[in-house]
Structure 1
């Protein structure tokens, strides 16, 4: 009898680990993220991730929680009693994000080349990719950055779009630490311009609030794009700098 009970629990745990592994592989493929990149973001070893995905060891609770934080989504099944607050998908975002519908915001879905000034080199532009898409699990638009040189600082979160202001807000909230991007409605070319407010990592553990111009340029799915630090001598510099300069020159934001 005891053997049957233990075996049942083992089978249940294996099934749950298998389900988690399937979801992680799906997220890696959808976001075009490497396993090493996910391991770094979740602050787990690549060996732990590889063994869990291969089924040679189960996903522990600690590993699963770290992966959920890194991916910005829940990987474990919730008891039925715990689900009402995460209502069944309705096609509408919650009121605190603007109560927008998915069809009304479908234009924002896609991949963007994201440009901002380099915090390490004032003359350079920093470039990476941002993906915005609808989350069926949470009934809202979400975003995730990728192809950042500083992968440990990759951001993800929710998209807010209140009708009153007509602006788009990309909000990261990790354990109460906030980071905010405020964007204009898209231009005829589909580009969005605005302001980033975040914390700049300094010497040691020093963090300094910083705001900077930011630009989101639409990309075709899978389209290659520049990434990393782009200096004045690089071929794409003038184009990237021109887009950043538009934030102030065309009145998309005022930097005092």
Structure 2
């Protein structure tokens, strides 16, 4: 089953890379370093830095991301995290901040597989114009033990993002008349991630991964959409932000007992 799981992970990765409907999307490279510090048997701290580089048309720094968080292991099934993060965008000279709290449920599916499901609530500073708050639902399917081959632990993850508040979007009828001006609340983003985590040594883990971000309008209300065309200007007010990510994450873990490897899926 372990070999089949690796083949399935590689197949999903190949499908997303080869999908012709996504061929024109942007491609980014994410490089991450994180440091884990155990405080007690069940409590640990982590600091992380991520640099995003755009490589589609020209090579440039897309954003820099910083995180500080605490994680508490309640028992073998439940854990929770709380922290803060900053997102710095050089092109607009803008920095946003967020506070977050989440809960993670860990379930053994069988002798080989484990499922981690989580829910995260975020509140963002006023510099973030797209939303004021955000809820993220996530699931991660992985192996309970590393494979003997290269000491790798493959996993597949998916995150679904629900936006609340933020700047108003103008909505129009077929005649071009404005009918509403309000935030676009709802599910508008998904992320799928195929990750291969390698154990380099006791303190160091290396993750190589592919991620696809896809935005959409999920809902029935015509006034809860993004990427709305303003017929008076011919411009889309908030275009879908779709892109591919090729990522590398290095995690250094000071000696501890119950710490997990860092995976950057909630930006």
TM-score, normalisation: structure 2: 0.26
Which protein has the bigger strand share? 2
TM-score, normalisation: structure 1: 0.27
Which protein has the bigger helix share? 1
